[in-house]
Structure 1
Amino acid sequence: MTDIQKSGVTILGIFAVDVTFLAPRLPAIGETLAGSGFVMGPGGKGSNQAVAAARAGGEVRFITKIGKDAFGDIGLKTWAEAGATARVQRIDSHPTGSAFIFVNDANGQNAIIVYAGASGTLSPDDLDLEKETIAASKVFVTQLEQPVDAALRGLEIARAAGTITVFNPAPATAFPDEIYRLSDYIAPNETEAAMLTGIAPGTVDDARKAGDALLAKGAKNALITLGGNGVLLHNATQSVHLPARAAGEVIDTTGAGDAFLGGFSAALSKGLDPVEAARYGSATAGISVTRRGAAASMPTAAEIEAFLRS
């Protein structure tokens, strides 16, 4: 299949329903703490990225598994409303995934516990069933909330088909070195970059050193998100730091990294060069943190483009 025939983004990942509690801090073991708010909505890194990419104007397919339960129904509704095509299996043996999210009601910082549920049963065989979907895509994206062997197989299929691969090593966990070599873009945040390289990217220069370490492992590009310090796109021929731009008051950082990757992959699939795609992803994330929730916070292409023009 030639590149001309390729279009859109295929994302592999988990779906989980987020149950989010706002409070001034996490309670200690044995302590009950009064919260200041509660939100329930769709989440999971892969699903968030799929929603972000679709709302950002991408043609999106999302590969996952869900249970035959009410939480699974929420997933189907979420993807339909976002305009993402669900390449989804529903199974009886496991419930749909769920995530507990604590959000500090003063500064928006978060802590998360995820149970993958049905998505945790994704296997290489499931990816083989979606070989044609992946091969027809301009961009393939995966993370590490589902089993590593499923992510590896998806990247193998994409690389063999000449599809651009974006690997988000989150949560940071052990994975085969082969994944680096299969990654056109490895996209950690600063915490994940430190865990993978031993270099804490506290400054942009440190991030470049971490980027060099990721390139040495075999990745073609390191795309390191630096929170309030923006993002670094680093490869063998260029190293571009894009400072963060504020779109308003930061109230919830949940899903900001997923917003960035969704916007980036959508832009890349539409032919933007990598620097402009990273700028597009940064704008996507910059808007998302001014809103509560993960999938619910993802902006539209019109909002992103208006922000970039402002």
Structure 2
Amino acid sequence: MPGPIVILGIFVADTAYRAPRQPRMGETILGEGFKLGPGGKGSNQAVAAARAGGDVHLVSRLARDAFGDLALKTWAEAGVTPEVTRTDDGYTGAAYIFVESGSGDNAIIVAPGVAGDISEEDIDARADLIRSASVFVTQLEQPLPAAIRALQIAREAGVTTVLNPAPAAPLPDGTLALCDWLTPNESEAEALTGLPVTDPATAEAAARTLILMGAGGVVVTLGAQGAMLVQGDRAVHLPAIDAGPVVETTGAGDAFNGGFAVALSEGRTPEEAVRFGIATAGISVTRPGTAPSMPSREEIEAALRA
């Protein structure tokens, strides 16, 4: 049996507002809807991976408050094993999400709360769990030193490492060399390389630059254009899967990463893993919300067959 999927990341409570446009500074407008739900990239990816059939453990920090309770409830329902430190000081994170009603596109502000205190000591305390993993996944919402320490532990143990470089941020030299897979979207790939990314051809160019910078393989997610997989001499564009009308794109990248991690943990080829991630994301955008939009294994398999 493969080892578990271990994910390092944060939970935030998503406060999602739907309106025709964002207000200008000093302006108040009426919205068309509001929803409170579970979010945070690490948490979303963990929920996506668990619903897709993975044995998932999530390393994080929570406060002892209502949003922390929401996190534990969310993970229990999805089948995620929490590996968390809870504290009486501070607050569990929250996110403001604006959803443009016409397109479903979004803009987000994240306040990580106590998850902003995840430390290298937290990682060292769970080093054995990370070493036991088949796949380790992290992002850039928690402090970077903790992410780098976890990638180092995983890499030294021969665990497949995935870094989703979101939100985009400068990375210290040597960070990409710890990553078997890097999974940026268009804007993140552009931020890391300085190259414009608008289509599969420009995504391939950015991916090759990221490999020269140290990444083992790169998957640039392209939304409605699918994803570009680059590894060694191989470059493959895999198209998106249309699972229905787009309702909301929030969390689509997290859905992809969760599905991608599950497929890697099962020993699928990189192309199969990317296709599995694309199907996971393709279903998620047909539903509102982030964690609640993540599909089941059966739904993903049906989308792939279709």
Match of 1:15 among 2, 11, 16: 11
Contact 1:54–1:82 at 8 Å: present in 2 too?
yes
- For 2:189, give the aligned amino acid: A
Distance 1:6 1:162, change over 3 A: farther
Cα displacement (A) at 1:179: 1.2
Aligned to 2:283: 287
Aligned to 2:151: 155
Q: Confirm or deny that 1:39 pairs with 2:22.
A: no
- For 2:275, give the aligned amino acid: R
* DSSP 3-state at the match of 2:175: helix
CA deviations over 1:49-103 (Å, ceiling 9, x no partner): 0000000001100000000000000000000100010001101222000000000
Partners of 1:6 and 1:228 lie apart in 2 by 32
Partners of 1:211 and 1:43 lie apart in 2 by 28
Contact 2:51–2:294 at 8 Å: present in 1 too?
yes
Aligned to 2:85: 89
Cα displacement (A) at 1:205: 1.3
Partners of 2:235 and 2:4 lie apart in 1 by 26
- For 1:161, give the aligned amino acid: A
* Matched ranges for 1:242-261 at <5 A: 242-261=238-257
Partners of 2:19 and 2:181 lie apart in 1 by 36
Aligned to 2:213: 217
TM-score by length of 2: 0.99
Partners of 2:17 and 2:40 lie apart in 1 by 16
Cα displacement (A) at 1:198: 1.0
CA deviations over 1:142-163 (Å, ceiling 9, x no partner): 0000000000001000001100
* DSSP 3-state at the match of 1:178: coil
Equivalent pairs counted in the alignment come to 306
Contact 2:251–2:290 at 8 Å: present in 1 too?
yes
Q: Confirm or deny that 1:229 pairs with 2:225.
A: yes
Cα displacement (A) at 1:6: 4.7
Match of 1:274 among 225, 245, 270: 270
Cα displacement (A) at 1:236: 1.1
- For 1:74, give the aligned amino acid: L
Aligned to 1:170: 166
Match of 2:297 among 283, 297, 301: 301
- For 1:266, give the aligned amino acid: V
Partners of 1:104 and 1:150 lie apart in 2 by 34
Cα displacement (A) at 1:203: 2.1
CA deviations over 1:119-162 (Å, ceiling 9, x no partner): 10001110000101111110000000000000000100000110
* Matched ranges for 1:96-135 at <5 A: 96-135=92-131
Contact 2:2–2:266 at 8 Å: present in 1 too?
no
Partners of 2:15 and 2:295 lie apart in 1 by 21
Partners of 1:93 and 1:69 lie apart in 2 by 10
* DSSP 3-state at the match of 1:62: strand
- For 1:154, give the aligned amino acid: A
Contact 1:56–1:301 at 8 Å: present in 2 too?
yes
* DSSP 3-state at the match of 1:64: strand
Contact 1:8–1:270 at 8 Å: present in 2 too?
no
Contact 1:18–1:42 at 8 Å: present in 2 too?
yes
Cα displacement (A) at 1:115: 0.3
Partners of 1:6 and 1:137 lie apart in 2 by 8
Partners of 1:142 and 1:179 lie apart in 2 by 12
TM-score by length of 1: 0.97
Contact 1:71–1:96 at 8 Å: present in 2 too?
yes
Q: Confirm or deny that 1:180 pairs with 2:176.
A: yes
Q: CA RMSD in A?
A: 0.8
Between the aligned residues of both structures, percent identity stands at 54
Return 5+ residue gaps in structure 1 as ranges: none
* DSSP 3-state at the match of 1:249: coil
